[in-house]
Structure 1
Amino acid sequence: MTNQMTPDLQIVVGSHGIDVSLKFAVESADAGAEWVEQGKRWVCLSPQLHCEVCLSQLGDHCVYELRVSNCGDRPVAIQGMSLGPDRVKWTRGLDQPHALYALHPRVTGVNDYDADEVLGLPPLAALPKDEWHALSERCAELPHLEALVLTDAWDRPSLVEGPLSQNHAHQRKRVRWTGAGQIDFESTYRFMGIRERVLAPGESIAESGFIQCLPNGDLNNALRDYLDALVASTGTRAPLNPLVDQRFFCTWNNYIYWEANQEEILPSVRKVKEKLPAVQWYLLDDGYMVSQGSSSKLERKENGERIHSLERELPWFHHCPGISFLFDGGEGVDDEKFPDGLDGFARKVKSLGMRPGIWIGMETSRYAPVAVKHPDWFIDIGHESHLLPDLSVPEVRVQMEKAFSILFHDWGFEAVKIDFVTHLTDHPKLNYRYQEKSGAELRRWLFSTVREYLPEDGFISLACWLCMGSPWIAPWVDSYRDSMDARDGNWQTVLSNVRWSILPALSGGSGQPIPDADSVSVFKGLEKQAMQTWVNYARVGGMVLEAGGDLLRWSDKEAAQVNDSLIDGQAGGRVYFADTTFWSRDGLPCASYRALDDESYILGLYNWQDHETNVSPDWVGPIGACSKFISLLTEEVLSRDDLTHYRLPARGSALFRAI
Structure 2
Amino acid sequence: MEYIKSLNEWVGNIIKQKKLSVIPYIVTAEERMDPVEGIWHHIPQTKTAQLSLLYKNGLKEDIYLRQEDNKETVISRRLYNHSRSVIFLKEIGLHLENINLGGRQEDDYFYHLENPRIYGRMIIRVDQHRTEKAKEGEFDGVAGTKWADPGVVSERIGASSYQPFPAILLSNLQNTIGIVHGSLSQRFFFHNYLVKHKENFLQWDVISSFKAVDYREVSTGESLDDISYLGITEQADNLEKVFERYIKTLRRYLPPLYGAKSVNRNTVLWDSWNDDVKDIDQESIFAVAEFIRENLPTVEWVQIDDGYAKESEPANGLGFPYEVGIDRKKFPDGFKIFTDGIRQRGLRPAVWIGSTVPHNTRLFKEHPEWFIDYSYRTKDVSPLDISLQDVRNYICEALNFFTKEGGFEGIKLDFWSYVFEDSHPLLKEKKCSGYEWRRWLLGEIRKRIPSDGYLQSGCDIVMANPFLAEFFNNYRYGIDVGDGDWRNFLTNFQWATACVSLHIGDLFIPNSNSVGIFPKLPDSGVRTIITFCLISRSMVEVAGWLHLYKEHPRMKWLKKALCCPNNGQDVFFADYQYRDETQLYGPSIWFINTPHFSLLEGIPSLPVRTVAIFNLGDSPSQYNLNAEKLFLPKAQYLATEIWSGETALLAELTEINIPAHDSRLFSINLIDGAPQILDASIKIVSVQRIDSNLKIEFAHKGDLGLVLSQKPDRVKLNGSQWEPSIQKGKNNWILEGKLPVEGTMELEF
TM-score normalised over the length of structure 1? 0.85
The structure 1 residue matched to 2:204, chosen from 162, 185, 189, is: 185
Contact conserved, 1:105 with 1:503, CA < 8 A, in 2? no
Residues 360 and 417 of structure 1 are in contact (CA less than 8 Å); yes or no, is this contact kept in structure 2?
Answer: yes
Following superposition, the deviation at residue 89 of structure 1 comes to 1.3
**Once the 2 structures are TM-superposed, how far is the Cα of residue 64 of structure 1 from its aligned partner?**
0.7
Contact (CA 8 Å) 2:158, 2:192: kept in 1 or not?
A: no
Partner of 2:587: 589
Conserved in 1, the CA contact under 8 Å of 2:298 and 2:564?
A: no
Which of 108, 125, 129 lines up with 2:117 in the alignment? Answer: 108
Using the alignment, how far apart are the partners of 1:655 and 1:358 within structure 2? Answer: 36
Q: Which residue of 1 aligns with 2:184?
A: 164
Displacement, 1:614? 2.2
Distance 1:126 1:96 in 2: 12
Change (3 A) 1:528 1:254: closer
- Greater Cα shift, 149-158 or 59-68: 149-158
Deviation of the 1:501 alpha carbon: 0.9
What residue number does 2:196 align with?
176
The offset of 1:629, in angstroms, is 5.2
> TM-score, structure 2 length as denominator?
0.75
1:654 Cα deviation after fit: 2.4
Counterpart in 2 of 1:229? 249
SS of 1:504's equivalent? helix
- Correspondence 1:277 to 2:297: yes
**474 and 13 in structure 1: CA distance in 2 versus 1, 3 angstrom threshold:** farther
Please say if residues 612 and 663 of structure 2, whose CA atoms lie closer than 8 Å, have aligned partners that are also in contact. no
Identify which of 498, 501, 523 aligns with 2:496. Answer: 501
Match of 1:397 in 2: 392
What's 2:692 paired with? none
Q: Which residue of 2 aligns with 1:484?
A: 479
Q: Distance in 1 between matches of 2:648 and 2:384?
A: 58
Name the CA distance, whole Å, in 2 between partners of 1:632 and 1:457: 36
**Structure 1 residues 363 and 620, CA gap change in structure 2 (3 angstroms):** farther
2:64 maps to which residue?
Answer: 54
Q: Distance in 1 between matches of 2:276 and 2:615?
A: 33
- Report the alpha carbon displacement of residue 204 of structure 1 after superposing the two structures with TM: 1.1
CA 1:102–1:469: 2 relative to 1, 3 Å: closer
- Measured after TM superposition, the shift of residue 241 of structure 1 is 3.5
Tell me whether 362-371 or 616-625 shows the greater mean CA deviation: 616-625
Matched-pair contact (CA < 8 Å) for 1:256–1:287: no
Q: Which residue of 1 aligns with 2:735?
A: none
**Shift of residue 87 of structure 1?**
4.5
Distance of aligned partners of 1:193 and 1:216 in 2 relative to their CA distance in 1, 3 Å threshold: closer
Hey, what's the Cα distance between the residues in 1 that align with 2:108 and 2:535?
28
Alpha-carbon separation, structure 1, partners of 2:476 and 2:163: 12
Cross-structure match for 1:535: 530
Contact 1:7 1:33 in 2 (8 A): no
Matched residues in 2 for 1:387 and 1:277: separation?
40
Structure-2 change in CA distance of 1:619 and 1:523 (3 Å) = farther
**CA 1:140/1:15 → structure 2, altered by over 3 Å: closer, same or farther?**
closer
Deviations 1:327-378 (A, max 9, x none): 3xx2432222211101111111111111111000000011211111111211
State the match for 1:460 in structure 2.
Answer: 455
Q: Which amino acid aligns with 1:88?
A: I
Give the distance between the partners of 2:476 and 2:387, measured in 1 at CA. 27
Q: Residue 12 of structure 2 aligns to a residue in which SS?
A: strand
Comparing 11-20 with 189-198, greater Cα deviation is found at 11-20
Verify the 8 A CA contact 1:276 1:559 in the aligned structure 2.
no
CA shift, 1:325, in A, is 1.2
Q: Corresponding residue for 2:631?
A: 623
Q: Is the 8 A contact 1:27 1:81 kept in 2?
A: yes
Structure 1: distance between partners of 2:173 and 2:434: 37
Aligned to 1:245: 266
- Given the superposition, is the C-alpha separation of residues 367 and 85 from structure 1 closer, same or farther in structure 2, using an over 3 Å criterion? farther
Structure 2 residue identity aligned to 1:45: L
Equivalenced residue count is: 612
CA–CA distance in structure 2, aligned partners of residues 604 and 478 of structure 1:
26
Could you say which residue in structure 1 is the equivalent of 2:92?
Answer: 81
Aligned to 1:205: 224
- Partner secondary structure for residue 492 of structure 1: helix
| Cα gap change, 1:230 to 1:611, in 2 (>3 Å) | same
CA contact (8 A) 1:157 1:216 kept: yes
Q: Pick which of 47-56 and 619-628 moved more.
A: 619-628
Distance (whole Å) between structure 2 residues aligned to residue 492 and residue 439 of structure 1: 33
Task: Kindly state the Cα deviation for residue 452 of structure 1 after the two structures are TM-superposed.
Answer: 0.9
3-state SS, counterpart of residue 408 of structure 2: coil
Distance in 2 separating the partners of 1:568 and 1:42: 53
2:38 corresponds to: 35
Deviation of 1:243 after TM superposition, in Å, equals: 0.9
Task: Pick closer, same or farther for the CA change 1:95–1:621 going to 2, 3 Å.
Answer: farther
Q: How does 1:61-80 map to 2 (within 5 A)?
A: 61-80=72-91
Displacement of 1:80 in angstroms is 1.3
Report the 3-state secondary structure (helix = DSSP H, G, I; strand = E; otherwise coil) of the residue aligned with 1:500: helix
Q: Give the residue type in structure 1 aligned to 2:577.
A: T
Greater CA deviation, 134-143 or 566-575?
134-143
Structure 1 residue 509, shift from structure 2 partner: 3.2
Which whole-Å CA distance do the structure 1 matches of 2:386 and 2:421 have between them? 12
CA contact (8 A) 2:575 2:629 kept: no
- 2:618 paired residue among 601, 610, 614: 610
Match of 2:380 among 370, 378, 385: 385
- Give the 5 Å matches for 1:400-419: 400-419=395-414
CA distance in 2, matches of 1:658, 1:437: 56
Q: Structure 2: any 5+ residue segments left out of the alignment?
A: 43-48, 131-152, 595-599, 603-607, 671-749
SS at match of 1:268: helix
Give the SS at the match of 1:623: coil
Give the whole-Å Cα distance in 1 for the aligned partners of 2:80 and 2:327.
Answer: 51
| Structure 1 position 123 matched with structure 2 position 125 | yes
Question: Does structure 2 retain, via aligned residues, the 8 Å contact 1:159–1:213?
Answer: yes
Structure 1 residue 583 displacement after superposition: 4.5
More divergent stretch after superposition (75-84 vs 36-45): 75-84
Partner SS, residue 13 of structure 1 = helix
Conservation of the 8 A alpha-carbon contact between 2:25 and 2:94: yes
* Aligned twin of 1:25: 25
Are the equivalent residues in 1 in contact too, given 2:114–2:162 (CA < 8 A)? no
Provide, for residues 264-292 of structure 1, a one-character-per-residue CA deviation record: whole Å limited to 9, x for no partner. 3322222222332221111000010121x
- The offset of 1:621, in angstroms, is 8.7
| Structure 1 letter corresponding to 2:23 | K
CA distance 1:489–1:458, shift in 2 (3 Å): same
Q: How many Å apart are 1:144 and its aligned residue?
A: 1.9
The 1:202–1:520 alpha-carbon spacing in structure 2 relative to 1, beyond 3 Å, is same
Query: Which SS does the other structure have where 1:486 is aligned?
Result: coil
What's the offset of the Cα at 1:224?
1.8
Percent identical residues: 20
Is contact 1:248–1:279 with CA below 8 Å preserved after alignment? yes
What pairs with 1:249-268 in structure 2 (closer than 5 Å)?
249-254=270-275, 257=278, 259-268=279-288
The one-letter code of the counterpart of 2:617 is Q
Aligned partners of 1:135 and 1:352: how far apart in 2?
A: 53
Superposed, which structure 2 residues align to 1:628-639 within 5 Å?
A: 628=637, 630-631=639-640, 633=642, 634=645, 636=647, 638-639=649-650
Contact 2:114–2:160 (CA<8 Å) still a contact in 1?
Answer: no
How far residue 522 of structure 1 moved from its aligned partner, in angstroms, is 4.7
CA displacement at 1:167 relative to structure 2: 1.2
Q: Give the partner amino acid of 1:157.
A: I
Are 2:343 and 1:350 aligned? Answer: yes
Per-residue deviation at 1:74? 4.4
Partner residue, 1:12: 11
- Structure ranking higher in helix proportion: 1
Q: Distance in 1 between matches of 2:94 and 2:653?
A: 47
Which entry has the higher C-alpha Rg, 1 or 2? Answer: 2
Matched residue of 1:655: which SS?
strand
Pairwise CA distance, 1:623: 2.2
User: Aligned partner of 1:38: which letter?
Assistant: H
User: Quick one: which amino acid aligns to residue 117 of structure 2?
Assistant: T
Report the Cα offset of residue 385 of structure 1: 0.2
* Structure-2 residue corresponding to 1:579: 575
**8 Å Cα contact 1:160-1:211 kept in structure 2:** yes
SS of 2:241's equivalent in the other structure is helix
Question: Deviation of residue 156 (structure 1)?
Answer: 1.7
The secondary structure found in structure 1 opposite 2:180 is strand
